[in-house]
Amino acid sequence: MNIESPAMPYNFADLEPSISRDTLVFHFLRHQRVCYDRMLAMVRGTELERLTLIELIRATERNPAQHALYRYAAEVYNHDLYWNSMGPRGGGPPSGLVGEHLHERFGSYDRFVRDFTAAASEHFGSGWLWLVWRSGTLEILTTSNAGTPLVRGDVPLLALDLWEHAYYLDHQNRRSAYVKAFLEELVNWDTANRTLAELVAGEEARVSAHPRLVAESSIRTAGLGVP
Ligand SMILES: [Fe+2]
């Protein structure tokens, strides 16, 4: 099996008081871990066992007969990014490449916060809130239930779980209080900055290998701060 068992990047109590230990224990063990175990049981002994997690998500998304497997795999991926979108003593605006592009796309961090918070409030039911990289810019979007932007060609940079199991013990049904705590006390932009830097470096390498792409790429990367 090419898919590693889920792991938390910090201890269960490290996000207190913003997210309680009980919430993280239940969330990790009763939700992500269960999805992982069910996914494993469904792929064991099949040709799908050789795939990476992202390959598995993309291979199963369009096949209705494999939709349960798609949902479990997507939830493993979504939660991995969610854990890595937070950290102890987090919160506040990003620096680095994400910070530059956030200002370019939204004009200010305050405007990003307003749009991100509004997207969370307007999303009906369970799902996910994302900051993704799409066609050379940042976009905020939501997906329903286990949906993941990976299958739309977007590159997820930041994930926030909008299922009530993510916040009900701490905030009951007050999703906006949970989003506020995420932005002000928890968000960690390191993973987003690393992913975006890899995307930019990959684009530069691709252009170097294919000189005819230089003109095309110079248009797309003009706003990236890439020399
Ligand atoms: Fe969740």
Compare 2 and 82 and report the one with higher pLDDT: 82
Kindly report the average pLDDT of the chain as a whole number: 91
Least confident of 24-33, 83-92, 93-102, 205-214: 205-214
Where does residue 38 rank: exposed (0-12), middle (13-18), buried (19+ CB within 10 A)? Answer: middle
User: pLDDT value at position 212?
Assistant: 53
Give residue-wise pLDDT tens across range 149-159.
Answer: 999 889 999 99
What's the CA-to-centroid distance between 157 and ligand 1, angstroms? 17
What's the CA-to-centroid distance between 182 and ligand 1, angstroms? 14
What's the CA-to-centroid distance between 54 and ligand 1, angstroms? 18
Give residue-wise pLDDT tens across range 129-141.
Answer: 999 999 999 999 9
pLDDT band (50, 70, 90) for residue 214: very low
Taking a C-beta distance cutoff of 8 angstroms, is the pair 175, 167 a contact? yes
Taking a C-beta distance cutoff of 8 angstroms, is the pair 133, 196 a contact? yes
What's the CA-to-centroid distance between 153 and ligand 1, angstroms? 22
Least confident of 45-59, 63-77, 93-107, 191-205: 191-205
- Fold type of domain 21-196: minor pseudopilin epsh fold (3.55.40)
What's the CA-to-centroid distance between 138 and ligand 1, angstroms? 23
What's the CA-to-centroid distance between 127 and ligand 1, angstroms? 9
**Whole-angstrom Cα distance, residue 21 to residue 17?**
9
Taking a C-beta distance cutoff of 8 angstroms, is the pair 129, 165 a contact? no
User: pLDDT value at position 86?
Assistant: 98
What's the CA-to-centroid distance between 164 and ligand 1, angstroms? 8
| DSSP assignments along the chain, one per residue | --SPPP--SS-TTTTTTTS-HHHHHHIIIIIIHHHHHHHHHHHTTSGGGGS-HHHHHHHHTT-GGGHHHHHHHHHHHHHHHHHTTB-TT--S---HHHHHHHHHHHSSHHHHHHHHHHHHHH--SSEEEEEEEETTEEEEEEEETT--GGGGT-EEEEEEE-SGGGTHHHHTT-HHHHHHHIIIIIB--HHHHHHHHHHHHHHHHHHHH-GGGHHHHHHHGGGGT--
- The pLDDT of residue 216 is above 50: no
Mean pLDDT of 45-56: 95
Positive/negative CA dihedral, 140, 161, 86, 149: negative
Taking a C-beta distance cutoff of 8 angstroms, is the pair 136, 61 a contact? no
Chain length of the chain: 227
- The pLDDT of residue 224 is above 80: no
